[in-house]
Amino acid sequence: DGGITQSPKYLFRKEGQNVTLSCEQNLNHDAMYWYRQDPGQGLRLIYYSQIVNDFQKGDIAEGYSVSREKKESFPLTVTSAQKNPTAFYLCASRKQHQETQYFGPGTRLLVL
Amino acid sequence: EDKVVQSPLSLVVHEGDTVTLNCSYEVTNFRSLLWYKQEKKAPTFLFMLTSSGIEKKSGRLSSILDKKELFSILNITATQTGDSAIYLCAAPGIEGGKLIFGQGTELSVKP
- Which residue is closest to B5 within chain A, CA to CA? A42
Are residues B88 and A44, on separate chains, in Cβ contact within 8 Å? no
pLDDT tens per residue, range B32-57 = 999 999 998 889 999 999 988 889 99
Cβ atoms < 10 Å from Cβ of A62: 10
Chain A: give the shortest CA distance to residue B60, in Å. 22
pLDDT score recorded for residue A2: 67
Residues of B with CB under 8 A from a CB of A: 6, 9, 31-32, 34, 36, 41-45, 48, 88, 90, 92, 95-99, 101-104
- Residue type for A44, please? R
| Three-class SS state of B96 | coil
% chain A with pLDDT above 90: 80
Q: How confident is the model at residue A39 (pLDDT cuts 50, 70, 90)?
A: confident
pLDDT tens per residue, range B72-105 = 999 999 999 999 999 999 999 887 778 999 999 9
- Residue type for B101, please? F
CA atoms within 13 A on the CB side of B87: 31
**Chain B residues whose beta carbon lies within 8 Å of the beta carbon of residue A35:** 101
Among candidates A42, A50, A105 on the partner chain, residue whose Cβ is nearest the Cβ of B96: A50
For residues B39 and B52, what is the distance between their CA atoms, to the nearest angstrom?
28
3-state secondary structure A18-80: CEEEEEEECCCCCEEEEEEECCCCCEEEEEEEEECCEEEECCCCCCEEECCCECCECCEEECC
pLDDT score recorded for residue A1: 57
Chain A: give the shortest CA distance to residue B101, in Å. 6
Q: Is the pLDDT of residue B109 over 60?
A: yes
Cβ atoms < 10 Å from Cβ of A53: 9
Q: Across residues B16-23, what is the average pLDDT?
A: 98
% chain A with pLDDT above 70: 98
Q: Is the pLDDT of residue A42 over 90?
A: no
Cβ atoms < 10 Å from Cβ of B94: 12
Contacts of B50 (CB under 8 A, 6+ apart): B31, B32, B33, B65
Chain B: give the shortest CA distance to residue A105, in Å. 4
Q: Is the pLDDT of residue A40 over 80?
A: no
Cβ–Cβ < 8 Å for A83, A15: no
pLDDT score recorded for residue A19: 94
pLDDT score recorded for residue A52: 95
Mutate: best of A43, A55, A93, A108, partner B, most B CBs <10 A: A43
